[in-house]
Structures are given as C-alpha cells and as structure tokens.
Amino acid sequence: MATLPRRASCRLLALAAYAWLPACGDVDASCAALSEEGLLVTAYIDHNGKQARTEIEVKRVEDDASLALALCKRSSISVDGTTATRVRRPSGSYVYKVDGVDKAKGGGAVTHELRLVDDDYEATYRVSVEAPAFEITAPKAGAELPRTQAFDVAWTPARPEATIVARIDDAIDGVACLAEPIVLELPDEGAAQVAQGQLKTGLNRPEPCSATLRLSRVATGALEPANGTSRLHADSRAAVATWRELKFTSDP
C-alpha cells in the first residue's frame, strides 16, 4: 500500500480539520451580534432629577428561553455617547447598564440616543417620550403624617390629560413596619390625597414608620432609526420613567 510523504499527509490533516471549523462569518448562538436582523432591544431608562440610569436587554424573538443575551465581542451599545457596561444577572440573563447625568429639565419631552456598533456595522436610534420633569411640593421631606388623618400630595407642573403613578412604602433603609405598599395611578393634575387609614401598619403594635413617597411619570416609545440601516425587530422600544421621591414618618 502506497503511503504519502509525511509533509503531504500533514497538509491533508490540516485541510480536513479546517473543513470542520465554522465559517468566520457565522454567528455564535450564545451571543448577539448587533448586525443581526430582527434582534429585540428593550431599554429601561430612569430619571430621578440627578441621575439618568439605563438598562438594556437584547433578545432573539425566536429563542425559546426568554433570557437576555450577551453581546458578541465585536459589538457594543452606547446611550447618549456613553458605552454600556455588561452585567450578568443571577438568572443567567445579561443587561447593559449606563449611568449618566439627568439632563431632562423643564416640561419638555425626554429624548435619548442609542448607538449600536458591530464591527463595520453602525446604526443610531432615538426615542422621545412625554415624561417631563417635575417636583414634589407636598408633603415636605421629613414630615410626620398621622395615619389617622388624610394628607395631601402635590407636585408641579401638572399635566391634566395624563396620569402619574404614586407609590408609598417603607423607606429602603428603614424598618419594615408598614403593610403592603400603596400603588395608585392618578390623574396628573398636580394634587391628590391619601385617605385616612389608607396607610396601615404590618406590626402587632402601632409605632412610627419611616416611609417613602415616590411619584413617577412613565411613558414608552419606539426606537426610531436616526442613522444607518435599521435591522432591529419592530417591537424594539424604550420605557422611560421620570420620578421623584421623599421620605416621611408615618405616625400611628
């Protein structure tokens, strides 16, 4: 039986091994390349008057698992010029975070820009929603408010044709003594009232509770292409919340 020279046989083995390697352009299913068609990108953006915090999830809509994917090495995403940082959640999902300065001032629309880059592919998207900044004017921070009496909540400016979400619960670092949080969707008219007895204690004996009042204006908008070829899924969007909060004492 004829045998190949050692050098020729090595070349054939190398060619055979190469044939089993995936093509350089193939997409790794364990990560998302932002040049892919049909990726679902969802951004969650919070404004608290000082800081704007963004969390972004990237998914393939055809995947059975609902886990958000990590980006492939050549891909990156930025919000308003700041590159997002990858964070792995305990569930195995990945989220991309950006912390910036809250520049949403006055009563105008809130606008953000997302830039997606994958090797030589680049696209820019904008989202603009009606979640204007505001300030809480009542109660005052640190106020002592009896649970046996109604108290007023006020904010400015108002938006009579819209709604605002109010939430009252224990302070994040306080003693957990209130019962279930109160969450109300209210007309955004600049004033509302918490009824007598609406706040209840979850303890056997009444005592003062350190509590937090948060008002949030929430809006959702599509990611609109601003530059480059759009390849995202049509349901890609941003949910924006502009919120303010203060701490007070809920007395028996």
Q: ∠ CA(102), CA(106), CA(111), 5° rounding?
A: 55
pLDDT of residue 206: 75
Q: How many CB atoms lie within 10 A of CB 40?
A: 19
Q: What is the pLDDT of residue 208?
A: 86
Check residue 92 and give left, alpha or beta (phi > 0: left; psi -120 to 50: alpha).
Answer: left
Note down pLDDT in tens along the chain; length 252 residues.
444 444 444 433 333 333 333 333 444 568 999 999 999 999 999 999 999 999 999 999 988 667 899 999 999 999 999 999 999 999 999 999 999 999 877 777 899 999 999 999 999 999 999 999 999 999 999 999 988 889 999 999 999 889 999 999 886 666 678 888 889 999 999 999 988 878 777 776 678 888 999 999 999 999 999 999 999 999 999 999 999 999 999 888
Q: Is 242 helix (H, G, I), strand (E, B) or coil?
A: strand
CB 118 within 8 Å of CB 72: yes
Residue 158, CA distances (Å) to 110, 135, 243 in order: 16, 10, 14
C-alpha to C-alpha distances, 231 to 8, 168, 203, 209, nearest whole angstrom: 46, 41, 54, 51
Instruction: For residue 42, give Cα distances in angstroms to 4, 51, 156.
Output: 58, 20, 30
Phi, psi of 68 (to 5 degrees): -75, 145
Identity of the residue numbered 125 = Y
**Cis-peptide into 206, omega within 30 deg:** no
Q: For tokens 């050692």, name the residue.
A: 6
Considering only CA atoms, which of 49, 72, 70 is closest in space to residue 243?
49
At residue 67, the pLDDT reads 87
Answer for the pair 110, 27: CB distance below 8 angstroms, yes or no: no
**Encoded tokens for 228:** 């480059």
Give the rounded distance of the alpha carbon of 48 from its chain centre.
13
Which domains occur in the chain, in start order? 31-131+218-242 (2.60.40), 135-217+246-251 (2.60.40)
pLDDT at 16: 37
pLDDT at position 187, please? 95
